Structure 1
Amino acid sequence: MTVLSIEHITRQVGEHDVELYATTPTTREAAVAAVLRQGASGTEALFIKRASKDGDPWSGDMAFPGGHREADDRDLRHTAERETWEEIGLDLDEHARYIGRLNQVRANPRIEMVVSPFLYVLETHEPELTFSHEVANVHWGDLVAMHTGANLTSRVFPSFDKHRSFPGYGVDGEIVWGLTYRMLQSFFEVLDPAYEPPED
């Protein structure tokens, strides 16, 4: 059984004590769904490529499906599932098995927002997806290549008032970086106590 087998992931995430941030009435909350499947060469994760939109700071980025919590969401897991349905037409209740929750991640130092990742395993072979106007495409990324650093790369992105190089993972010619990249580092640390994140 490998570190990235579905069986190992299910056990490790199920036993993990989730780290949560203290929130205040002004804290904004969001949630994402990390959807896994067994691919031809190992475990893969689903990423969306956001549609290009002027004025959107996440325009064109690769990310897990998800978004902000709404007032009528039962909880943050419901937020992740609702947003996944709205963005790509994937009903996680029907087509996937819930595994557990990962550590919360702060969006960035200038925004009081925390993001909660929830983990699922796809159980329907290639369910039909319907993209919203917010999504340009979906890509399946090789988690083994990410964990080993085989597809580790970097790219220069705007960072506040300057440009700097950020690490990321190459997936189908795109790059998974930023918040989603940090979630993956936290995920790998849960699965593999010996894992050491690449230096920025």
Structure 2
Amino acid sequence: MGLLSYDLNAISTRIGGRPVDLDSLSAERQAAVAVILRASEAPEADAEVLLVRRAERAGDPWSGHMALPGGRREPDDSSLFVTAVRETREEVGFDLGEHGVLLGRLPDVPAVARGRRVGMVVVPFVFALRSERPEVVLRLNEELVEAMWTPVGPLARGEMNGTTAYLHEGQPFDMPCYRVGDRVVWGLTHRMLGHLFEALHQA
């Protein structure tokens, strides 16, 4: 698989082709996230993806969740690609315009909180860190409490698949998730990573 050997051309070919700078403002709220990949320090090892954990905040439906860097589109953002770059810079402290290569855009995902759509669409953009650049330093803002580079191979191969209990309107559900150590990646982030892995598994 191209992903495991960090074959950027293969990844870009499989997820590329969608426009990245033609997003007009709409009545539905918009947001963008960055799926950021980097090569492992160990030769032939799996590439890694950056996961973050959001701070506990009252009124935030995704409070405390594992997530990808990103956030809502601002009126001054000329496109959702610009939103992804700006939010990454604000949340984790480095500029994807300088340190990253855009590989492509994954399918849009309608945002869901507590089992209901919330009138917002989330667009994931996939980036790779430039291998010739020095190691970037993560500087988290107040919206995040943790960031971790996680090997993609075990996620893509299903080795971290699991379920997590979720109570909705008094009814218990087992929701699909990835278990990264003692962290649970589920919901929107699970869906977006799933779209990435589906594209990479295509022949």
After superposition, give the CA deviation of every residue in 1:9-66 in whole Å (9 maximum; x if it has no partner). Answer: 123223x457xxx999421110001100112321111011111122321111111100
Is 1:78 the counterpart of 2:82? The answer is yes
Q: Secondary structure at the match of 2:178?
A: strand
Q: Secondary structure at the match of 1:81?
A: helix
Structure 2 unaligned regions, length at least 5: none
Residue 193 of structure 1, CA deviation: 2.2
Structure 1 unaligned regions, length at least 5: 195-200
Is 1:185 the counterpart of 2:194? The answer is yes
Q: How does 1:118-129 map to 2 (within 5 A)?
A: 118-123=125-130, 124-129=133-138
Q: Secondary structure at the match of 1:6?
A: coil
Measured in 2, the distance between the counterparts of 1:24 and 1:78 equals 13
Confirm or deny: 8 A CA contact 2:110 2:117 kept in the other structure.
no
Aligned to 2:96: 92
Is 1:116 the counterpart of 2:120? The answer is no
Aligned to 1:136: 145
Measured in 1, the distance between the counterparts of 2:169 and 2:106 equals 27
Confirm or deny: 8 A CA contact 1:3 1:192 kept in the other structure.
no
Q: How does 1:5-20 map to 2 (within 5 A)?
A: 5-7=5-7, 8-14=10-16, 16-17=17-18
Taking structure 2 as the reference length, the TM-score comes to 0.84
Confirm or deny: 8 A CA contact 1:6 1:38 kept in the other structure.
yes
Q: Comparing 159-168 with 58-67, which one deviates more in the overlay?
A: 159-168
Q: Comparing 157-166 with 74-83, which one deviates more in the overlay?
A: 157-166
1:116 maps to a residue whose letter is V
Residue 139 of structure 1, CA deviation: 1.1
Residue 159 of structure 1, CA deviation: 3.6
Structure-2 change in CA distance of 1:118 and 1:2 (3 Å)? closer
After superposition, give the CA deviation of every residue in 1:57-78 in whole Å (9 maximum; x if it has no partner). Answer: 1111111100010100010000
Q: Considering only aligned residues, what root-mean-square deviation do their CA atoms show, in Å?
A: 2.2
After superposition, give the CA deviation of every residue in 1:113-144 in whole Å (9 maximum; x if it has no partner). Answer: 11111111012343112111100010112211
2:11 maps to a residue whose letter is I
Structure-2 change in CA distance of 1:50 and 1:160 (3 Å)? farther
Q: How many residues align?
A: 190
Confirm or deny: 8 A CA contact 1:33 1:65 kept in the other structure.
yes
Structure-2 change in CA distance of 1:3 and 1:93 (3 Å)? closer
